[in-house]
Structure 1
């Protein structure tokens, strides 16, 4: 059974991510945790110290959150009723990131699925800040669904890698799980700059092949392109419906997403993006 966490702020964006998760895992026995975190609009140390509940504000906020969670649960059971799925609602007086981290640890979560607004406006913000912080701080596979993306069976998955990581089962399991459910092919993309693979990279590539031996996969190499260019051009030539990366420190992944250029890069992700932590 899969344990899947669905953070929600009750927006259509978060509902879209929930729909995606329900359809992606429709043939899998799953326990979904529907989570909403809430804090008062005015939230500071003095407010907490004087027992906010005495003003009735916290009770009111909590009641609203629980009602909205129940409404979402009813909507799920109405529109996507599935005997293989159970839904549990969770309302928490906490900030989003630490609450997600706690739930991931305490409930043995396999995936966190959440929505993101994607690149919008002149600043070209790649993800909403919440999604970025979850990816950086939560040790769990994170599946980010772009705003408005309609579910389609992921027949082709794109997995860019630099072969700089010694692959272990927890790196590949989130990918092969999806592949097994939907008979997906994994396209492994290596961006080369004219240098041969090092001995360590060759060994890592062989390890990767071993883990994928029961899965449909294909290796690809492109030269003299940035990661953004390589991903974008591959998507244009092939009907890729899921992008997967391992968040390995000091790899191109970190350079692409977690530097100060995050609000400036012209890389508009329009497909779901699965980020797997290097360490569990």
Structure 2
């Protein structure tokens, strides 16, 4: 009888552990992650928000918008009923990525990939601990752009790299760092700046006009008579150059961009010797 009671007690404890419920990564009314985004001219911040939900292959996903709250869909997130595991499906992906598993113990492993990671492979959990009431799962992977801080899953947040660290699309190997996270208007992660930029500034600001912006097919650039030959390059959000043309700052220039798809782009000016001049964001309408 004593052995039977011990077995029943053990089964009860096991079921409680297996069914433990964690804090959701989603808020009730709103959810936002501020994550670094890199490109050819430096680092900036992308504010990703949950903007709705949808069914994909009979699974309920939360829809995450893209850069700067423009309504562009970046990807989809879902979590299980206990909030212990979460998956991310990129907008161009057929398969989802496991991005969080709070059931892992020391010695367990999880695949960590992403373009930023020079060694995509299975990494091992080296410690499990609680901080500020949230469970943390730390791996034996030192992240060089976080001062060699180790990659860590965080209950109710995702990870110290955010939710897109498995994303192969994420800006051509530039670091993805979670700066801040918010749920229902309350900041739940981050103590420093929530918006950063390392885009280079000119010693003398370049005065010019770009119009219309947003544009449909053609965009006009007026440098107000300043003499200098420049290259005008257009980059998409993945850092790919999709247009280049030599222009003259002494005249009004027009760029024919009708072949571009609608969306957000960066217009980058530089002189003939390759010195950085200026970068600005442009939007192509439908």
- TM-score (structure 1 length as normaliser): 0.25
Largest Rg, 1 or 2: 2
Higher helix share: 1
Higher relative contact order (CA 8 A, sep 6+): 1
Higher strand share: 2
